[in-house]
Structures are given as C-alpha cells and as structure tokens.
Amino acid sequence: MRAFLIDRYGKKESGRIGDLPQPALRDGDVLVRVHAASVNALDNKIRTGEFKMILPYRLPLILGNDMAGTVVSVGSGVSRFKPGDEVYARPDDDRIGTFAEFIAVNAGSVALKPNNLDMVEAAALPLVSLTAWQALVETAQLKPGQKVFIQAGSGGVGTIAIQLAKHLGAFVATTTSTANVAWVKALGADVVIDYKQQDFAAALRDYDVVLNSQGNDELERSLTILRPGGHLISISGPPTPTFATARGLRWPLKQVLRLLSRGIRSRAKRMGVTYTFLFMRAEGKQLSDITSLVEAGAIRPVIDRVFPFQDTQSALAYVESGRAKGKVVVKMV
C-alpha cells in the first residue's frame, strides 16, 4: 500500500510517499480503507520529534491521526462493524498512520460515520471533536449558563469547541484575527476578540473555563480571567505529573514534567483555580455521541482546503503555517 511516512525526526524532515505492507489485523481490530484523513498540528509536532519522549514510535513512521473510510475486514471478536460500513476514527496514539491506503484500528476507537457527511467532511472531525468533547464535557463538565473562553476560534479545535459549548448552553468568548471576526461569530461565539486589536486578558473577567491551545504567555494570562474555582484546561502544555502517571511514563520523565509544569500549577493553586493538561485519547463511544450531534445539526465540520494524497507534504506545511481556517484534509480516494 502507499503511505506518507517519515524516516527520522527533525524540522527539516519533510516526509515521503513510499510502499509498505498492508497492516496486519489483530483480534478486536477493523481494517479500514482510508478515503480521507485530516491534518492536525499534532502531525507536525510528531514529525519534528516534539513528542518522541512521550510517544516513542518506531521509525519509519506513517503519519496521520484521524480518518474516514470503509471497513474492509474485521478481526476476531468484532461484532459492531462489518465489511462495507462507512466509519471514522482517531486511532489509538500508539497506532497512528492514517496517511495511508489502509489502517488497522481497534474497534473500540471507531464509530459509524455521520450519515449527513461525506468522507472528506467526516475525516475532519475525529481528533478535534474528541479534543473538544474531552475538554468541555468530560473534564470541565460544562453546564448551561457557564462562561467559557476558547482560544483560537478559527482553528481546528476552536471551530468545533465553539459549536459544542453553545450546544451545551454556555456563553462563549474566543479570539481570532481581524479578517475572521465575523466568520467566527457566525459559528456561535458570543464575544469575539480580535487579538491584533485587543488583549483578551483585559477584556474578559469571571470565566468558569478556559480552553488553552496557545503558548506560555497566553496560558499565564488565561489565569487572570478565571473566577475562583475556575478551570484552566490546556491542550498545548505543559504536561503535568498527573498526565505522566496516567500514561505510565517512567519516573525520570515524570520528574521532568513536574518541573516543567510547576510554575503554572503553583500559580493556579494560589489563584484558587484548577490546571489540567489534556492529551486527547481515542474513544469510539464518545465519537458515536458526536455523530448524533452532527446528524442533529448541532455541530458541523469546517474545512479550509483539501489536498490530494500526493500533496500531503504541502498539506502539512499549510497547517504548520497557521493560516488554516478550520481543518485541512488529505483525500486518498
């Protein structure tokens, strides 16, 4: 099968298309012919080696963290899916590789594709929608009437998190650039801050939840807009000892993460708020719940550009540039 892979880590590693054996099917797996796969910031972070201590992949590595496609065959013990089913998934993070013609995925990570989306639209959803769900529903337990600040409203996670938060009945604030203010407001945001003209930390007060996806400066300033008892959830770090324990990381690495996150954890504690680092996980049941919201019209994917498979390298570069509005998808079929 054809696949887009990297041979080494590094910023200069651009990746290549090569031929590899079709993946073996384990008990409990489904083998999926990939129709489309979306590009995420995580793909570029893996490519450069940013996560090699936490995710020790064997090289060469096929990139790609979510997809939509058709079930080709199922392994022993799988009864929920059958050949011909149209599905989508975020594979377990130790079994990524959706930039390929086929992928074997644990059936517990798979859900039936929303029937009102095509393959390209469905491929844009798994990783970002699960991130939004695990941040707002599972971790924050967001309730009607609460106030949530979602950074980078025009990004892949932001576009979905805004829609999910509004569905949950929250008051939503977000940030974006001047050109995207009206566009992001149309997604449902109640307050849209043009970060080129205004400082969110000066404009917002007494928020219940912040979903941080930016750098250390934004992370620090996010603390100032939370009410006592509020919750700062970051998907961009720094990771915490709690995360290290959940991942089963070795003691030395756990101590490194303790030091990296000590500052933000201490400041959050002094201010009476909770800090959580979220590294989303594959979860087919949650993805099925998201399917129901998509089919009900509560959430819709936002797609910026679609690249053919042979231009996967260009798709990664476009996402890395930070110019994408919503998601970028690579079309395999």
> What are the pLDDT digits (tens) for 145-197?
999 999 999 999 999 999 999 999 999 999 999 999 999 999 999 999 999 99
pLDDT, average across residues 202-227 = 97
* Cβ count within 10 A of residue 164: 24
> 224 Cβ partners below 8 Å, 6+ apart?
201
CB–CB of 255/278 below 8 Å?
Answer: no
Asked, colleague to colleague, whether 2-125+301-331 and 128-277 share their fold, the answer is: no
Averaged over 16-23, what is the pLDDT? Answer: 97
Is pLDDT above 90 for 53?
A: no
- What residues does each domain of the chain span? 2-125+301-331, 128-277
- CATH tag for 2-125+301-331 (out of 3.90.180.10, 3.30.590.10, 3.40.50.970, 1.10.1040.10): 3.90.180.10
CATH for 128-277, options being 3.30.70.1450, 3.40.640.10, 3.90.550.10, 3.40.50.720:
3.40.50.720
* Mean pLDDT, rounded, for 134-142: 98
How would residue 132 be classed by pLDDT, with cut points 50, 70 and 90? very high
227-274: per-residue pLDDT in tens? Answer: 999 999 999 989 999 999 998 999 999 999 999 999 999 999 999 999
Residue 122 parent element (H or E): helix 119-123
Q: Is the pLDDT of residue 54 over 90?
A: no
Please check whether residue 145 is in contact with residue 170, taking contact to mean a CB–CB distance below 8 angstroms.
yes
The string of pLDDT tens digits covering residues 274-287 is 999 999 999 999 99
